[in-house]
Structure 1
Amino acid sequence: MQDAVIDAVVIGRNEGARLIACLQSLQGRVRRLVYVDSGSTDGSVAAALALGAEVVALDVRLGFTAARARNAGLAVLDAPEFVQFVDGDCQVQVGWFAAALAGFAVHPAAVVICGRRRERFPEASVYNRLADMEWDTAVGQALACGGDALMRFAAVQALGGYDASLIAGEEPELCLRLAREGGEVWRIDAEMTLHDANLLRFGQWWRRMVRAGYAFAEGAARYGTAPERHWVVEVRRAVFWGMLLPVLVVLAGLTHPLGWLLALIYPVQMLRLARRGGFAWGYFTVVGKFAEARGVMSYWVNRVRGRRRGLIEYK
């Protein structure tokens, strides 16, 4: 297993020094290193070529999605046993491949192995710290992975790769389809990547949460009635906390002055969540439901109008 053939597909757009660090972390560790560029204007293509990566430049006339970029990378590979997907703002940790291959040996039904993604600069902002906490998910069999993961190439190729129409949430959707074919997703206790979210402003974090809500809504619309109930709970939470409850508070307050006390449910929920993850986690988890609700509404408005929304970028 340790002699397995691994290729890597890195995707990015205007990642600058982050991309260089990403590619350098993979040099000499994979058979083929493919970088897929989504219209960068910062010299990313030249930098990748200088580092020995094969470059695939997406047609700028077509809409960019991370899924489309990953599929473009898959298309140029010649049947490795495994493919490591990496976002261009991530650096692969030393020892990751050995740990991941050992994970495949322990879990023969696994088609996806992922590990711990950490934020490189969690101290730079509260939003970076929140992202680092978000990445710290439970070890064991999982429903989905993130953008960084080692996958069995044949299993992914057999399903046609990622759904390129999704502007977010493409990894959980792929994992769902892989699971339907009998594949397993495992998160192991190993350092996988360092991620540089570079979330320094509230507006960036807000747009990121709107994108999450949009992904929840689209995922639930596609698979919500299936046995997996994909992202149904997430959509319900966003709608309740970010749309329904505010309406109820206003109606209660207009009905009777004491009705405004219903709004106290928000600080109570923040304090409840803070007991598990600290004040910032509790506060922003609740506030984030308003952004997620906006994303849910955006999806349904676009669907009713028969339109596809472009990327929701936050960097």
Structure 2
Amino acid sequence: MRAALDIAAVVIGRNEGARLIACLDALQGQVARVVYVDSGSTDGSQEAARARNADVVTLDLARPFTAARARNAGLDHLRMGGPPRYVQFLDGDCRLQPGWIETAREFLDAHPEVAVACGRRREEFPASSVYNRLIDAEWDTPVGRARSCGGDALMRTEALDAVGGYNPALIAGEEPELCVRLRAEGWQIWRLDAEMALHDAAMTRFGQWWQRTRRGGYAFAEGVALHGAPPERHCVAPLRRIVAWGLVLPLATVLGALVSPWALLLLLAWPAQVVRLRLRGRPWYQAVFLTLSKLPEAQGALTYWWRRLTRARARLIEYK
């Protein structure tokens, strides 16, 4: 296979179990090398990866785990054997779809100005929970030139080297931040109209959704701190919405109620926003959760600001 000559894969994970095995099995015969970067698994993930001829890199437990750090470690390992032209990044709970590598590789070959090609990432079991359906809808992004990608993408090694890879300090939002730096250097990001990967979120509880959404708010706040200045204005618009709906409105309601009970009418803004989103074409469940999401996102933003103020070490916000 032509794709196997100059394409490698970097898979990252921790305690993904059967999901990792399915991920690695789907890569067989599609790429020249597979590097699995493990972040402290205790479920036999490393042994399973070695059994499938993947190179295994184990992250040092003395340093905080981040997805960005893991992906950089995979890249560093690939460089030791001569870096491939392209690298397919993949989370260990994802399974690459047949034909994606060939489609993405042909596009990058034909467009040397493009650093990243990503496709449609689908949730494998959207009917299992409303939270899985929300994730599946979140990943249905417009086709064409894009501002950023997600964790699964085929990337040009030359472009990654030009910007120094991922920012290992980020606990979330590392792909959009990388894409900011790539675009600043003149590279392009494209979302192709092609099936790329299946993802198994295994999200069945409200608490999992809250934690994942909180992590998103943290990433927005940190994104503004890094690249919020003009001309990029990275994450500024979503952070403004988070502050307005998740901080200002609740605070104004509570403080106003201390003066007059009529201030509680401000709470009607929430159902009004749900109706507004429904009228704009969102299904009811999306309208409800998009409105509600501003609370955990605000919590995540506050967490980032507090850690930055106190210079506390960043820690992962996980939902699994």
After TM superposition, the score normalised by the length of structure 1 is 0.97
2:125 paired with 1:121: yes
Amino acid at match of 1:297: L
Q: Give 3-state SS (helix, strand or coil) of 1:94's partner.
A: coil
Shift of 1:258: 2.9
After the TM superposition, which of the residue ranges 271-280 and 198-207 deviates more from structure 2? 271-280
Q: Give 3-state SS (helix, strand or coil) of 1:8's partner.
A: strand
Runs of 4+ in 1 over 4 A off after TM superposition: 1-4
Amino acid at match of 1:71: N
Shift of 1:308: 2.1
Query: For the residues of structure 2 that align with 1:260 and 1:23, how far apart are their CA atoms?
Result: 54
Query: For the residues of structure 2 that align with 1:183 and 1:261, how far apart are their CA atoms?
Result: 49
Query: For the residues of structure 2 that align with 1:250 and 1:39, how far apart are their CA atoms?
Result: 43
2:230 paired with 1:226: yes
2:294 paired with 1:311: no
2:82 paired with 1:81: no
Q: Which runs of 5+ in 2 are unaligned?
A: none
Q: Give 3-state SS (helix, strand or coil) of 1:188's partner.
A: strand
Shift of 1:306: 1.1
Q: Give 3-state SS (helix, strand or coil) of 1:229's partner.
A: coil
- The residue number in structure 1 matching 2:94 is 90
2:298 paired with 1:293: yes
For residue 268 of structure 2, the aligned residue among 264, 288, 293 is 264
Query: For the residues of structure 2 that align with 1:181 and 1:241, how far apart are their CA atoms?
Result: 35
For residue 137 of structure 2, the aligned residue among 133, 138, 145 is 133
- The residue number in structure 2 matching 1:52 is 53
Q: Give 3-state SS (helix, strand or coil) of 1:270's partner.
A: helix
What whole-Å deviation, never above 9, does each CA across 1:101-150 have from its counterpart, x for those lacking one? 23224433110000000000001110000000000000111111000000
2:16 paired with 1:15: yes
Shift of 1:305: 0.4
Query: For the residues of structure 1 that align with 2:258 and 2:53, how far apart are their CA atoms?
Result: 66
Shift of 1:209: 0.7
Tell me how many residue pairs correspond in the alignment: 315
Query: For the residues of structure 2 that align with 1:250 and 1:61, how far apart are their CA atoms?
Result: 43
Whether the aligned pair in 2 keeps the contact of 1:79 and 1:154 (CA below 8 Å) is no
Q: Give 3-state SS (helix, strand or coil) of 1:117's partner.
A: strand
What whole-Å deviation, never above 9, does each CA across 1:216-272 have from its counterpart, x for those lacking one? 101101111131100011111111101101112233334333332221110010122
Amino acid at match of 1:278: P
Whether the aligned pair in 2 keeps the contact of 1:252 and 1:262 (CA below 8 Å) is no
2:75 paired with 1:71: no
For residue 186 of structure 1, the aligned residue among 190, 198, 208 is 190
Amino acid at match of 1:251: L
For residue 199 of structure 2, the aligned residue among 195, 201, 207 is 195
After the TM superposition, which of the residue ranges 303-312 and 141-150 deviates more from structure 2? 303-312
What whole-Å deviation, never above 9, does each CA across 1:15-49 have from its counterpart, x for those lacking one? 00000000011011100011000000000000001
Q: Give 3-state SS (helix, strand or coil) of 2:293's partner.
A: helix
Query: For the residues of structure 1 that align with 2:69 and 2:27, how far apart are their CA atoms?
Result: 22
Q: Which runs of 5+ in 1 are unaligned?
A: none
After TM superposition, the score normalised by the length of structure 2 is 0.96
Query: For the residues of structure 2 that align with 1:277 and 1:14, how far apart are their CA atoms?
Result: 35
What whole-Å deviation, never above 9, does each CA across 1:42-66 have from its counterpart, x for those lacking one? 0000000111111001111211000
Q: Give 3-state SS (helix, strand or coil) of 1:303's partner.
A: helix
Whether the aligned pair in 2 keeps the contact of 1:110 and 1:185 (CA below 8 Å) is yes
Q: Identity percentage over the alignment?
A: 58
Query: For the residues of structure 1 that align with 2:313 and 2:141, how far apart are their CA atoms?
Result: 31
